[in-house]
Amino acid sequence: RDLFRWSGIGDPHENGEKALPLIARALALDPQFALAHCLASRIHSELFWFGYDKCPARIEKARLAADEALKLRPEMGEARVALAFYYYYAARDYDRAVRELALAQRVLPNDSEAAGALGIIDRRRGHWEEAILHLERARQLDPRNISALWNLSETLTYLRRFAAAERVLAEAAAASPNAYLIPLARADLALREKGETAPLRAALKRVPAGFDPGGAVTTIAVRLALMEREYDEAERELGKCMQPKFTDFGLGGFAGALDDYTVPREWYVGLIARGRGEASASARAFPAARTIVLSDLAESPEAPKSLLMLGLLEAMLGQADKAMAAGRRGVELLPISADALDGPLLATNLAVIYAQIGEKEHALEVLERVVRLPGGPTPGSLRIEPEWDALRNDARFQHLMATDVS
């Protein structure tokens, strides 16, 4: 279970791949081990949801494992939780997921996992206050559940309740001193609230060498350097991690960021080259990244975040029509009305696409809507992210940078 539940220390992909052989070994010894089937289901669901494996076969394994657990032990609450995550992650069927969690809580009334699951589903539905209540309950039931603390602090951050988010993150840091992503999240609050990068830079310096789950720390460091227009530094930071894709944990800005997505390395190579004015280098990097994203889309054609990533790449390549088509399709597939958590993020990146191809009016229309939403870009982030440079002299954009959205 420790390999399954994210603790702020490891890479969810790596942890999941480590856990599955252990579970398979346990099931070989005891095929009736219902809890092992539950854990296998949860891991398959996570690997699918977070984009590590979008094959339909992966999420089908999640369903089969949960069904097997229920067949073995129909009364088992953990099996209902696993099935809830299947409905949530496979089809965003929030109502069915909540029904399964209600069944789970009949036999597991004090289960932190079930309470936390209700919280993260409530966020998707736009039920923010209910989400906080459920996540607070998860924290009370298991004060050392770093995943619950992370989700609670993240929810408070999306609501711009930065002081409350800071208190929860301080609690998480005390509970798990080796969860080095926690101090980065605390420092990221200053970027969101005030557009200040110094705290995040200082926090990055305190991260031990070698701690870079899924390339997440490299992602933050590269984004920070790009915000500060320090392109040589961005290149050095990128060179410290040679992974082909980088996990995005939702820290280090909004523009060009896709939380819970794995970003091709060549995207950052292209941004660095573009920032330096090296047209030939960016002309090599962005098509290479596009090839990777197109391969992902061939596997999962209606993955909204992959479509937004494709739109961003097409925009960088000057393909305005293709960029708008991909970006708009991604937002159509997952509008704010269907997902109050990811919807504003996708819309923000559609605004980035518009800004990059010179569609300033469209970009501003989107920004004026999302800047006031939970999880949308903050005035602080708008002030420092280079993706908005094309809008910076516009009076409407300047008004957004000065807007009080607390």
What does the DSSP 8-state code read for residue 364? H
> At which of 50, 83, 109 does a domain end?
109
By DSSP bridging, strand 262-264 and strand 245-247 are antiparallel
Which of 78, 109, 140 terminates a domain? The answer is 109
In a domain, 365, yes or no: yes
**Residue 227 sits in the same domain as residue 340:** yes
pLDDT tens profile 89-108: 998 999 999 999 999 999 99
Verify that 222 and 94 share a domain, yes or no: no
- Enclosing domain of residue 382: 209-406
Q: How far apart are CA 254 and CA 85, in angstroms?
A: 27
Q: Please check whether residue 334 lies inside any domain of the structure.
A: yes
Whether residues 214 and 361 share a domain: the answer is yes
Same domain, 370 and 245: yes
pLDDT digits (tens, 9 = 90+) for 160-185: 999 999 999 999 999 999 999 999 99
State whether 90 and 226 are in the same domain: no
Whether residue 201 is contained in a domain is answered as no
Residue 185 within any structural domain of the chain: no
Q: What is the dihedral of CA 296, 302, 308, 310, to 10 degrees?
A: 40
64, 86, 109 - which closes a domain? 109
Same domain, 357 and 233: yes
Q: Which residues pair with 247 in a beta bridge?
A: 262
Do the domain assignments include residue 147?
A: no
Residue 215, domain member (yes or no) = yes
> Tell me, what's the pLDDT at 12?
66
Residue 203 lies in a domain: no
AA letter at 334: L
Residue 1 confidence (pLDDT) = 47
Contact by Cβ (8 Å): 351, 366: yes
pLDDT at 55: 85
The list of the chain residues with pLDDT below 50 reads 1-4
Give the CATH number, domain containing residue 78. Answer: 1.25.40.10
Task: Please check whether residues 232 and 359 belong to one and the same domain.
Answer: yes
Total tally of structural domains belonging to the chain: 2
Question: Which amino acid type is present at position 157?
Answer: T
Residues 93, 230 share a domain: no
Q: Do residues 240 and 361 both lie within one domain? A: yes
229 and 376 belong to one structural domain:
yes
Distance separating alpha carbons of residues 316 and 261, to the nearest angstrom: 19
Give a yes or no: residue 242 inside a domain.
yes
Could you give the 3-state DSSP secondary structure of residue 125?
A: coil
Predicted local distance difference test score (pLDDT) of residue 14 = 73
| Both structure tokens of 146 | 């770093």
